[in-house]
Chains A and B, each alone.
Chain A
Amino acid sequence: MRLEDHVDIASDADVMAARQKGRTLAAEVGFSPTDQAMLAAVITELARNIVDYAGRGELLFHAIEGDGRRGIAVIARDHGPGIPNIKEALQTSYSVAGGLGLGLRGVKGLMDSLDIVSVPGKGTTVTARKWQS
């Protein structure tokens, strides 16, 4: 069983490969079909962000373990312009009425944790984790 995988993201076509690999790993870790669909959605949104804002980057998937539970970490990494205002990108308090809660905000809601490291001009790394319930 492969416990990690990696997909280069440069175009919309790569999103499909990323979804497929993420879903396969999620199934191996033991996630339910609904959770697998959530992970596919998360992968789609993260990959879409890479294509739209950085042009290219990569997605990595890792099986993770802790507290007797298993889970999956999805890491999206690019060397694009960075996110100028992370708080704003995640803010749900006001803009949700205008936005639809997709993108990073949507990712946050489907996963158990979300960490973002972004350096202006250097790029962005988003790490999202989901544990089996």
Chain B
Amino acid sequence: MSATPSDQQREYSDALRAYIARPNEQALRRAYEMGRGALSNGTGVLGIAALHHQALKEVIPSLSPEIEEALLIKRAEEVFIESLMPFEMSHRAFREAIGVLRRMNERIEEEAKRIAHALHEEAGGLLASTHLALEELARDLSPRGSERLSLVKRLLDQMDEQLRQLAHEIRPTVLDDLGLLPALNFLADGMSKRSGVAITVEGSTEGRLPTAVETTLYRNVQEALNNVIRHAQAGKVAVIVTREARAVRCSVRDDGVGFEVSTVTAAHGERGLGHVGMRERLESLHGTLLITSIPGQGAELLMYIPLEG
């Protein structure tokens, strides 16, 4: 449907005029379909309100003076509600989608916790038992045998370290135990050491944030830092967390090569997909993501999450 604004106005005014003069289903249906069209063509809810207002101005002077004011108001409202109903449907579906998204994220994090725990506690526990068994064995071995056994122990230690690292990346216990800033510091240290990029973390959350908010910010910073390390050729990255009265803000700024923002916000390509994931996590908390970059002058990723209550 490609109705022009004046077509829309005429259609709505006609429906309103017809319904006020004589209530009928056809006029209501027209108003409903108008709203449906307005939803898909981007006219929006405020556009409908403007159409309604203009239609009233056109229609009222032409009405028979016998129509009572109360009746006029009631009928005009019935038409207005019909035109808003598609927006109400869309709004409800959207709210439900946000809830589904949030529950899905929570399930994923629960699963990550379970896997991290299994790796760290269970596999780690088995490794510890293996160490003990080897100690026993070492007592019965010749000096040369012990030496070869110590090589096996060093390999086991490396395995232990890698398991620990993996468990941490899947779900950092420091995030659950100590909160966002300590977890980000820990993350930044590890990533700095591995990549050689200097990463600083500053700011404060002024106490703990809701778990979902902490997890979302942690995951998004993790992903942003990964992107910077892989693509930005940056020397320095600054992560800044700021607590506002009813929101938390987190920025990740690098001094790398930058990029055309339009090329990464598209929903395709490896970097694009990363941003889709970030956006989805944020949307489930009614948060927003702002990406600014100038090629050659670094980039900044700004996340903003409102806090309830």
Q: Which residues of A contact B (CB under 8 A)?
A: 15-16, 19-20, 23, 33-34, 37-38, 40-41, 44-45, 92-94, 96-97, 100-102, 105-110
Beta-carbon contact of A38 and B85 below 8 Å? yes
A92 CB contact (under 8 Å) in B36, B81, B93? B93
Beta-carbon contact of A93 and B104 below 8 Å? yes
Beta-carbon contact of A108 and B93 below 8 Å? yes
Q: How large is the interface on B (under 10, 10 to 19, 20 to 34, 35 or more residues)?
A: 20 to 34
Q: How many Cβ-Cβ contacts under 8 Å join chain A to chain B? A: 82
Beta-carbon contact of A93 and B39 below 8 Å? no
The answer to whether A44 and B104 touch (CB under 8 A), given A106-B86, A106-B89, A110-B92, is no
Beta-carbon contact of B78 and A33 below 8 Å? yes
Residues of B contacting A45 with CB < 8 Å? 89
- Further pairs besides A37-B28, A92-B93, A110-B88: 19, Cβ < 8 Å: A19-B28, A37-B82, A41-B86, A44-B29, A92-B96, A93-B97, A93-B100, A94-B97, A96-B94, A100-B39, A100-B40, A102-B36, A102-B39, A102-B89, A106-B86, A108-B96, A109-B92, A109-B93, A109-B95
26 A-B pairs with C-beta separation under 8 A = A19-B25, A19-B29, A23-B25, A33-B78, A33-B81, A37-B28, A37-B81, A38-B88, A40-B28, A40-B85, A44-B32, A92-B97, A94-B97, A96-B94, A97-B97, A101-B90, A101-B94, A102-B36, A105-B89, A105-B93, A106-B89, A107-B89, A109-B89, A109-B93, A110-B89, A110-B92
**A21 CB, nearest partner CB in chain B, Å:** 9
Q: Which residues of B contact A (CB under 8 A)?
A: 25-26, 28-29, 32, 36, 39-40, 78, 81-82, 85-86, 88-97, 100-101, 104
A102 CB contact (under 8 Å) in B78, B90, B95, B100? B90
**B278 CB, nearest partner CB in chain A, Å:** 14
Beta-carbon contact of A40 and B82 below 8 Å? yes
Residues of B contacting A101 with CB < 8 Å? 89-94, 97
Residues of A contacting B88 with CB < 8 Å? 38, 41, 110
Interchain CA distance A53-B10 in the complex, whole Å: 31
Most buried by B among A19, A34, A45, A109: A109
Residue ID in chain A nearest B280 by CB atoms: A94
Residues of B contacting A105 with CB < 8 Å? 89, 93
Residue ID in chain B nearest A45 by CB atoms: B89
Residues of A contacting B28 with CB < 8 Å? 19, 37, 40
